[in-house]
Amino acid sequence: MKFGITVLAVLMAGVIHDTHAETPQLRDRQTGKYLGNLSANPHDPNSTSNPYGQYGSQYSADSINNPYGRYGSPYSNDSANNPYATNPPAIIDPQR
């Protein structure tokens, strides 16, 4: 029984630690401009998955979800949605 409690405590410590991990960020490779958190959380105000946020809205100039914007157009050299882009956004680990 003691072994099971110890294993559970170790697992819970790992889960608690992971909840504080920062999500990856998107940044313009040339300018370093922040383009939001690469996250599936639609409630994070900085998430690329927040349809009402600056970095997730289909209308925002800074969003990879704007098909007419610099970072979301299928034709822009800076776009995450152009497979031939020469300067697509970089995925950055903020903990490094």
- Residue span of the structural domain in which 74 resides: 31-96
Which residues 6+ apart lie within 8 Å of 16 measured at CB?
none
Structure pTM?
Answer: 0.75
pLDDT above 90: percentage of residues in the chain: 74
Average pLDDT, whole number, for the chain? 84
What tokens appear for 62 in the block?
């800074």
Is it the case that residue 94 has pLDDT exceeding 70? yes
Q: Specify if 83 maps to a domain.
A: yes
pLDDT digits (tens, 9 = 90+) for 2-40: 444 433 333 344 444 445 578 999 999 999 999 999 999
Q: Is 60 part of any domain?
A: yes
Q: How far is CA 40 from the centre of its chain?
A: 8
Is 20 a member of any domain?
no
Residue 41 belongs to a domain? yes
Q: Residue 8: inside a domain, yes or no?
A: no
Give the number of domains in the chain.
Answer: 1
Residue 13 lies in a domain: no
